[in-house]
């Protein structure tokens, strides 16, 4: 019988289609894995409600488990409690930066009106002088920034809390 | 009316507001005034349609004959939609789009904050998820209202005109009827009267920074919450429902 630990290990090999360096474990969207009556029950959670990657992720999990000879499993989605970027692993944040996406900062960019914009260091040259181009980037979970020092435009994985 | 029927109606209202505004914003895909705003408005559209999915899914499970969220989204007739008139108004110029969004976001955010306390766990779960996104929406729309209002002579005139045209629909956001009374008693929803001061405060602050004034004309329009829509709604539905009507039961 398959163990929860083995399932987790296999899920390390399923990647976010939008950010292909992050496994779904790194991203923290695997909420739980339980084995009950020889069936593995996997619960995942979306980063943003309308995240179009969820269906692909579900399919990728199916492909990964079946390829490894696991037949009895169910993948379901749960939205509560809501995902936050705190669920992303430290390893995941390092991988993001190496990939050129600024990882979420410790503070949510949550003040509604004209607070000082958050300092997001450039993932390429580490300069602190960067500017937000748009709060909405290439996917729902990212904002668009530019480094004032090296001029490199980059994505920032928004802090969501 | 039973509690279940009332909750069904209330979820439809919220779901329809999200769905119809999401549909409106999706019209900007590939047509945004600049690339960043093209991406921003379609991101917001995606969030809203995601919220609609959850709200309508929940509503459908409470219907007398259970319905899927697709059935509710695409196969009702116009008078069965209960979104406010505000969200169905056309995109107009960018100032119109942002003012419509701002008046809505300033209402949606405190509503979701209060729904966190709902005695209905499924609804509070949806609110918790949606609130995180809605904070970004409000920040985005209010910054644009300020930037345009306190911008050039032309942008100021346009955003003022947008407010003059749209403010008459804002009152309907705080519509209440029997549905609210039933759910309020059960602690499932907050009263619209509780939400109103939060909306008013945000609107007052932002309009002041934007140097634009509330319209003097005090006309108020309503009807959407009771299924009476503006002319624009039919055209919107024709486009939104086209695929499902032409190819019944199709799925992606």
The stretch B115-130 carries a mean pLDDT of 96
Residues 6+ apart with CB under 8 A from B177: B225
Radius of gyration for chain A, computed over Cα atoms and rounded to the nearest angstrom: 17
Residues 6+ apart with CB under 8 A from B120: B7, B188
Are A67 and A16 in a shared domain?
Answer: yes
Are A94 and A78 in a shared domain?
Answer: no
Last-in-domain residue among A34, A50, A83 = A83
pTM of the predicted structure, to 2 decimals: 0.87
Are A101 and A38 in a shared domain?
Answer: no
Task: Please name the helix (run of DSSP H) or strand (run of DSSP E) that holds residue B111, with its range, or none.
Answer: helix B94-115
Residues of A in contact with B142 (CB under 8 A): 112-113
**Interchain CB contact of B238 with A (< 8 Å):** no
Residue-wise pLDDT for A33-90, tens only, equals: 999 998 999 999 988 877 888 889 999 999 999 999 999 999 998 888 888 888 899 9
Residues of A in contact with B109 (CB under 8 A): 112
Considering chain B, what percentage of its residues have pLDDT values greater than 90? 95
CATH domain B3-217+229-246 topology? Ferritin (1.20.1260)
Are A76 and A60 in a shared domain?
Answer: yes
Task: Please tell me the total count of domains within chain A.
Answer: 2
- Can you give chain A as a three-state secondary structure string? CCCHHHHHHHHCCCECCCCCCCEHHHHCCEEEEEEECCEEEEEECCCCCCCCHHHHHHHHHHHHHHHCCCCCEEEEECCCCCCCHHHCCHHHHHHHHHHCEECCCCCCCCCCCCCCCCCCCCCCCCCCCEEEEECCCCCCCEEEEEECCCCCEEEEECCCC
Are A123 and A75 in a shared domain?
Answer: no
- Global ipTM: 0.72
On the question of pLDDT at A101 being above 90, the answer is: yes
- The Cα–Cα gap between B207 and A135 comes to 21
Residues of A in contact with B46 (CB under 8 A): 48, 50, 52, 140
Check if the beta carbon of residue B8 is closer than 8 Å to that of residue B63: yes
Last-in-domain residue among A34, A68, A83 = A83
Q: How far is CA B60 from the centre of its chain?
A: 19
On the question of pLDDT at B121 being above 50, the answer is: yes
Are A9 and A76 in a shared domain?
Answer: yes
Which range marks the domain in which residue A48 is found? 4-83
Check if the beta carbon of residue B135 is closer than 8 Å to that of residue B106: no
**Interchain CB contact of B129 with A (< 8 Å):** yes
Q: Name the pLDDT band for A112 (thresholds 50, 70, 90).
A: very low
On the question of pLDDT at A17 being above 80, the answer is: yes
Residues of B in contact with A49 (CB under 8 A): 47, 50-51, 53-54, 129-130, 133
Most confident segment among A127-136, B162-171, B217-226: B162-171
CATH of the domain at A63: 3.30.300.130
Last-in-domain residue among A83, A102, A117 = A83
**Interchain CB contact of B138 with A (< 8 Å):** yes
Inter-chain residue contact B132 with A114, CB threshold 8 Å: no
Inter-chain residue contact B205 with A113, CB threshold 8 Å: yes
Q: In this complex, which of A84, A136, A160 lies closest to B43 when CB atoms are compared? A: A136
Are A78 and A141 in a shared domain?
Answer: no
Are A61 and A99 in a shared domain?
Answer: no
Q: In this complex, which of B36, B46, B139 lies closest to A50 when CB atoms are compared? A: B46
């Amino acid at each position: 019988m398959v163990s929860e630990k083995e399932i987790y290990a296999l899920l390390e090999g399923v990647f976010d289609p939008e950010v292909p360096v992050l496994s779904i474990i790194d991203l923290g969207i695997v909420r739980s894995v339980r084995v009950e009556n020889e069936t593995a029950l996997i619960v995942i959670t979306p980063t943003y409600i309308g995240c179009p990657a969820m269906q692909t992720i579900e399919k990728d999990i199916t492909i990964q488990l079946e390829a490894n000879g696991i037949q009895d499993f169910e993948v379901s989605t749960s939205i509560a409690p809501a995902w936050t970027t705190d669920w992303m692993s430290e390893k995941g944040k390092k991988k993001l930066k190496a990939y050129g996406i600024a990882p979420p900062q410790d503070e949510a960019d949550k003040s509604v009106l004209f607070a000082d914009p958050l300092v997001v260091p450039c993932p390429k040259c580490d300069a602190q002088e960067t500017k937000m181009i748009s709060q909405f980037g290439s996917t729902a979970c990212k904002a668009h920034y530019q480094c004032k020092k090296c001029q490199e435009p980059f994505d920032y994985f928004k802090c969501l809390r | 009316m039973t509690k279940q029927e009332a909750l069904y109606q209330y979820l439809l209202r919220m779901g329809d507001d999200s769905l119809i505004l999401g549909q409106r914003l999706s019209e900007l895909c590939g047509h945004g005034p600049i690339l960043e705003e093209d991406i921003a408005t379609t991101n917001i559209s995606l969030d809203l349609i995601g919220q609609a999915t959850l709200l309508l899914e929940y509503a459908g499970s409470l219907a007398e004959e259970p319905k899927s969220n697709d059935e509710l989204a695409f196969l009702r007739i116009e008078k069965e939609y209960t979104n406010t008139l505000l969200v169905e108004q056309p995109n107009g110029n960018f100032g119109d789009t942002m003012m419509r969004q701002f008046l809505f976001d300033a209402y949606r955010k405190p509503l979701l904050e209060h729904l966190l306390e709902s005695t209905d766990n499924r609804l509070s779960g949806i609110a918790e998820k949606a609130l995180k996104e809605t904070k970004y929406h409000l920040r985005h729309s209010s910054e644009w209202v300020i930037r345009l209002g306190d911008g050039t002579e032309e942008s100021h005139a346009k955003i003022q005109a947008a407010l003059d045209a749209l403010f008459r629909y804002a009152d309907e956001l705080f519509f209440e009827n029997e549905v609210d009374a039933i759910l309020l008693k059960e602690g499932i929803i907050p009263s619209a009267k509780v939400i109103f001061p939060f909306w008013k405060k945000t609107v007052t602050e932002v309009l002041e920074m934007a140097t634009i004034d509330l319209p003097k004309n005090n006309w108020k329009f309503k009807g959407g919450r009771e299924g009476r829509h503006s002319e624009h709604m039919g055209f919107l539905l024709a486009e939104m429902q086209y695929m499902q009507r032409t190819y019944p039961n199709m799925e992606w």
